[in-house]
Structures are given as structure tokens and as C-alpha cells.
Amino acid sequence: MPQPVSAILLAAGRSQRMGRCKPLLPLGERSVIERCLESLHGSGLEEIVVVLGHAAEQITQALAGQPVTVTLVRNPDPDSDMAGSVRCGLGALDPAAQGVLVCLTDHPLVRPATVSRLLAFHRAHPGFISIPTCAGKKGHPTLFPRQILEELAQAPTLRHLVRRDPQRVRTLEVDDAGVVLDMDTPEDYRRALEIWAQQATLPPVP
């Protein structure tokens, strides 16, 4: 029986380089964070924990009534490293979850099919850290065995977990530029809007 996987979506940052709250920027008719949740939910994930910090009240209000059920937790130190938010998310996960997909609102164009492929890849390699790549470039989200992710109790960053032992890392090449499109600046956001508009005009996949 496949081990259950849950997701942690990180949305606690200050968005300093963007100059506006990234999770609440519009992308089509919905916000960036709603697009991220749609992608995760569309892949079949049932448990999604969203870690908030800066603009927590505004994001909470924006998610009220939206169709994807999530658990909201707050990082009391949102200016900490990303690992601090992951630790907060870990504490809220179902103990039965043995895999944890760590997701960033910086990557709102990741397709549900890509997340589904990553979940299937993890089922085939459950003891390994699974990282998607596009054109050979590593991206996000990253799927960790829970046992490895819990090493954050001693390790300072997620990067330390990935680099600690290269033998426990597997990569999955995907045809999805969303995994490497890091939406960090206004220019990045404009590019994301262009790509979103292009995708919206494509015919549905049969």
C-alpha cells in the first residue's frame, strides 16, 4: 500500500523583492496562492498545510470559502530561513504522512500533472529525496521522506538535507517550466503572467 504524502506550502515571506505580497498577486481570475493550491489538490493530495507569516490575515481572508481545504499555521518568526517555516508545517501534519512535498508560492505555474508524476516517482523511490528537473535544471517542489525532513531538528536548512548525502537524492525530468520559474521580482511576475496567458489559450489535453 502506498505511503501517504502530504504537502507543506510556504507563504510566510515578506516578498521584499517583489514589493507586493506574492501569494495574493492575481494570476488569471485567481490569486497566486490559489493557483498553487489548485495544482496540489488537482494532483490528488488530500492534506495541505499552508505556513503563513507576513500578511497572514490578508491571506487567510483570501482563502476563506475557496474549494480546497487546507490547514493554516503561522510561523512566529517569518523572517527566519525557509527551514523555520517547514518546521512549523511539520508540526501540523498528520502523523501518518510518510512523505512530505515542500512547495513554494514562488512557483505557481507547476502543473497538477507534474505533481502527480512526482508523487508516482516517490512511490517508486520512497526512501529518497525526489527533485523535479526541467532541461536539466533542478526546481520545485521537492518531495522528502518524512524521516529525512525531520532531520531539520538538527540541520539549519533544507539545502543541508539535500547535500548531506547525494546518494539519497533522485531527480525526475519533467516537461514543465513551472518547476524552475522562480517568481521573485516584478519582472518574474510579468513573465509568469505571459506564460499563464499562453497556457490559457492552448486547447485542453484530450
Residue 205 lies in a domain: no
Which pLDDT band, with edges at 50, 70 and 90, does 2 fall under?
Answer: low
Q: DSSP letters of 1-16?
A: -PPPEEEEEEE----T
Residue 206 lies in a domain: no
134, three cell numbers: 526541467
Note the pTM of the prediction, 2 decimals.
0.94
Residue 10 lies in a domain: yes
Q: What is the number of other CB atoms lying within 10 angstroms of the CB of residue 2?
A: 11
Residue 191 lies in a domain: yes
Residue 157 lies in a domain: yes
Find where cell 517568481 sits.
183
Q: The CATH number of the domain where 64 resides is what?
A: 3.90.550.10
Which pLDDT band, with edges at 50, 70 and 90, does 206 fall under?
Answer: very low
Q: How many domains does the chain contain in total?
A: 1
Residue 43 lies in a domain: yes
Which pLDDT band, with edges at 50, 70 and 90, does 201 fall under?
Answer: low
Which pLDDT band, with edges at 50, 70 and 90, does 15 fall under?
Answer: confident
Residue 96 lies in a domain: yes
Residue 45 contacts residue 116 (beta carbons within 8 Å): no
Residue 99 contacts residue 145 (beta carbons within 8 Å): yes
Cis peptide before 112 (omega within 30 of 0): no
Q: Which of 29, 37, 27 is nearest to 189 (CA)?
A: 27
Over range 121-137, report the average pLDDT. Answer: 96
User: Which residue range is the domain that position 78 belongs to?
Assistant: 5-200
Helix (H, G, I), strand (E, B) or coil at 88: helix
* pLDDT higher than threshold 50 for residue 92: yes
Find where cell 523511490 sits.
125
